[in-house]
Chain A
Amino acid sequence: MRAVWIGLIFAATAAAQDEALGASVFNKSCAVGYCHGSGGTAGRAPKLTGRNFEHGYVHKVTLDGIPNTGMPGWKDRLNSQELNAVIAWVVKASGGVLDPKIAGAAAAGPPMPADAKRGKDLFFDAVRGEFRCSTCHAVDGMGIAVGPNLLTASNLDPAVIRAGKPATVRQGRTRGGETFAALVVDQKPDSIVLFDLALPLPVLRTFGKGEVTFSSGPSWRHSDAVAKYGDPELAAISAYLQWLANR
């Protein structure tokens, strides 16, 4: 009997903790700014109170978001405990009923090892401004896909990364005589679309037929683009890319 009481008290405490966690996550991630408003009573995003949501619906939308709207997916932003707590909190706030088959089923993505985490920070390092990998490479839904897909690269040793000099970068010359490093993206009968790599921020430019000509031997070098990274930093970035590729 005593054990049952302790068990009940424990369960009640755990439920209260989950509810507090759900409320806290909701306040920081969902109520904020111009989104669902305090307690889910509406902001720019829809009102959640009084909607009687099904648990399965809230589960799916919380994890995956709603494409083409302002609702992001949260499965890579919150841990599993936070996800389950906030889903339950929203179901209850909407007036819905928790479904025991779904409760606790939300799982966050796998955690990242420390070296890969450091590599990720470096890959996207905002402090380096334009001189970071993500200026020209996209991985895991972030960055700009100017350069090649790095998740299929066979060798990511720092020296190899540094020496990389894609044959596809050529010297562009405009009709006016201006020259710049160019990566051609698309050639149509009447136009050419290319990335202008003259400065660290790539520019996607469209030229009419004959407005730009090409020759080999551009001045552009990958070693310049990655000059702000040391070898240990490039090694950490390799670890991150390998972790992503094997995930």
Chain B
Amino acid sequence: MKRVFGLLAAALTCPAADTGATGADWQHYGGTYRSWRYSSLNQINTSNVRKITPAWAFQTGDYDGGLQVTPLVIDGIMYLSTSRNHIYALDAATGRELWKYTYNLPKGYTVFYGPWNRGVAVGHGRVYIGTLDNYVVAVDQKTGKEIWKTNVEDAQQCGCDITGAPLVVKDKVVVGTTGGDSAHRGYIVAFDARTGRQAWKFWTIPGPGEKGNETWSGDSWKYGGGSSWMTGSYDEALNLIYWSVGNPAADFYGGSRKGDNLYTDSVVALEADSGKLKWHFQQVPHDVWDFDTAYENILLDLDVKGRARKLLLNVNKGGYVFVNDRATGEFVSGYPIVKHINWITGTDAKGNLVGRNEPKVGETTFICPAIGGGRSWNQAAYSPRTGLLYTTAIEWCQDVKSMPEDPVEGKVFFGGTFEPKHPRGENAYSHLDAVDPVTGKNKWTVKYKYPMLASVLATAGDLVLTGDPEGFFFALDARSGNKLWSFQTGSGHRGGPIAYSVKGRQYIATPSGWGSAVAGLIAQLWPEAERFRGGSMLWVFALPEEGK
């Protein structure tokens, strides 16, 4: 038995070059630069997952806002960030604390929307984090001591902060900020990983004289949102960084920003060294629904109609998937992941939206899905073994009232209000689906009463793992969707589970800690959700060790 373990360990720590699979480490927010959230480890698999038990657990003590992080593991050390921007380095086999970096927010600091943090990046001997007061900080990977700290822009002025994990690409650390619902002009920024000096800045809204500025009427470009709040992906061969740009502001009222509003609701491909725009694809021209292009960009190499394609898959907040050629930006395919979708009827052959159903100014318009998204920002997983995409989806709607509003810099700029509603004819619910990534063809669906808001992990053990708001962390068979194992972690799930190995032993880790904006919203449809317990704890599971 021991020999089998050894062989497995040897085989599974060497993923093929340039794939999206992780090995012993979980190096980047999305696993690898391709953001598959797929681990090549298979020591824990469909035949033995019922036997896994907690190996260790870690209480962060920083529970306001929950635990939204996807931890990283590099060379047997876990890097874990908490909602108020503290960082822990832990022995990934035992949970022993190696160091803690304590972040001090200014006294009495007003946090936008709420305190949360989704992760760190590691590279060049440093650990990088973006903060609630809009700093990017680098600390020593060995000691946790601060090395540099740069303010991106005063948070009170821009009405923005950093909650997403940075991405280290070559000699730079790239970050995005929130602020899409504020009167603010967004950007994606890269810093010199060594010195903290700003290396490049890509304005997500072009300025006067720049191409694309003509897609904004009047001065609306100055306060047009275009945040960059989640982490991007990177194609090493093409040397392109892919980042998602969020909604235009004001969210629900477009009358004062006539035009397509580039590059909001777009995937942008930026040259890694300069931040120069290579191509863009705008999913939602002139958005009036707050349906950000904000989430992960999953990089896949697949055959489409007999032709090998380099693809990029992105789930729009409106519950619609866009698949593009990632070398050129050309639209390849699109499909909905929710049943209740009425803001569009679909897309044409070029990816243009068809059948736009816009909120009418001064009236109440019933729109599906709700603002929290046909899926929230919690990420999907892709398994090359099954060829399937595993994503959560939420069936819910809302009444939107669109109202004219004047911008005040850095202040909320919504242009209306919304009220979550159940879909016509049935109660709101969520589901976890296995679908063909290019066609959207459904392989299996698992339904659940409340919105599932945690990221998904897929493994070479043919497992799909995620957690629910009631605190259960569970494993499904990747091929059938059958539930194989579940465990009550004590608090709801909003973070990202990962798999890693240390000295040949595979672990599966998950944050547990209910919280977030969308988590707060759901009590409007499910009053009992007010009682869902908060927390901030990391659980780590493994198979029992032989002879112990």
Contacts and interface: CB of A to CB of B under 8 A. Distances in A.
Interface in A19-47: 27-29, 31-35, 37-39, 41-45, 47
A43 B523 CA distance: 8
B160 to A, nearest CB: 11
B156 A142 contact: yes
B197 A144 contact: no
Interface residues of B, number: 53
Contacts of A33: 113, 181, 412, 414, 517
Interface stretch (B40-48, B142-150, B233-241, B504-512): B142-150
Contacts of B345: none
A28 B300 CA distance: 42
A77 B408 contact: yes
Nearest to B112: A70
Nearest to A146: B151
Instruction: Determine which residue in A35, A41, A126, A142 has the highest number of CB atoms from chain B within 10 A of its CB, and name it.
Output: A126
B90 interface: no
Contacts of A34: 113-114, 517-518, 520-521
Interface in A118-174: 124, 126-127, 129-130, 134, 138, 141-144
Contacts of B157: 124, 126, 134, 142-143
A28 B405 contact: yes
A67 interface: yes
Nearest to B401: A27
A201 interface: yes
Interface stretch (B27-35, B103-111, B259-267, B424-432): B103-111
A68 interface: yes
A202 B150 contact: yes
B524 interface: yes
A187 to B, nearest CB: 15
Contacts of A134: 154, 157
A65 interface: yes
Given A33-B181, A126-B157, A203-B149, A70 B108 contact: no
B111 A70 contact: yes
A14 B414 CA distance: 28
A110 B516 CA distance: 36
A30 to B, nearest CB: 9
Interface in B180-225: 181, 184-185, 195-198, 201, 207, 222
Contacts of A31: 417
Among B107, B112, B156, B408, which residue has the most Cβ atoms of chain A within 10 A? Answer: B156
B403 interface: yes
B335 interface: no
Contacts of B114: 34, 44, 70
Given A43-B521, A44-B113, A77-B408, A129 B414 contact: no
A34 B401 CA distance: 15
Nearest to B147: A206
Interface core residue of A127, A129, A201 (most chain B CB under 10 Å): A201
A201 B181 contact: no
A44 B414 contact: no
A205 B151 contact: no
A131 to B, nearest CB: 12
Interface in B95-141: 105, 107-115
B411 interface: yes
B75 interface: no
B113 A38 contact: no
A71 interface: yes
A201 B151 contact: yes
A126 B183 CA distance: 11
A31 B195 CA distance: 42
B428 to A, nearest CB: 16
A164 B455 CA distance: 52
B463 interface: no
Most buried by A among B113, B115, B401: B113
A72 interface: yes
B418 interface: yes
B520 A43 contact: yes
A198 interface: yes
A16 interface: no
A245 interface: no
B459 to A, nearest CB: 33
B341 interface: no
Contact of A203 (B196, B207, B222, B408): B196
A69 B222 CA distance: 28
Contacts of A43: 517, 520-521, 524
Contacts of B154: 124, 134, 138, 142-144
A144 to B, nearest CB: 5
Interface string B16-33: 000000000000000000
Contact of A42 (B105, B115, B405, B520): B520
A44 B222 contact: no
Contacts of B519: 44
Interface string B396-416: 000001010100110110100
Interface string B69-106: 00000000000000000000000000000000000010
B197 A199 contact: yes
B195 A27 contact: no
A142 B523 CA distance: 35
Interface in A162-209: 196, 198-206
Interface string A96-135: 0000000000000000000000000000101101100010
Contacts of B150: 201-204
Contacts of A199: 197-198
A69 B110 contact: yes
B325 interface: no
A205 B195 CA distance: 8
B304 to A, nearest CB: 38
Contacts of A71: 110
B419 interface: yes
Nearest to B182: A33
Given A124-B157, A144-B151, A201-B197, A206 B146 contact: yes
A28 B414 contact: yes
A201 B198 contact: yes
Interface in B253-287: none
B369 to A, nearest CB: 16
A30 B524 CA distance: 16
Nearest to A124: B157
A17 B112 CA distance: 31
B530 interface: yes
Given A27-B403, A142-B156, A205 B196 contact: yes
Nearest to A199: B197
Contacts of A204: 148-150, 196
B108 A68 contact: yes
Q: What are the 8 A-B residue pairs with the smallest beta carbon separation, nearest first?
A: A44-B520, A34-B517, A67-B108, A203-B196, A38-B419, A204-B149, A44-B517, A32-B414
Given A27-B417, A34-B517, A144-B151, 10 more contacts: A33-B412, A33-B517, A41-B524, A42-B524, A126-B153, A134-B157, A142-B156, A201-B150, A205-B149, A206-B147
11 contacts: A39-B419, A43-B517, A43-B520, A43-B524, A70-B111, A77-B411, A126-B157, A143-B154, A201-B151, A204-B196, A206-B147
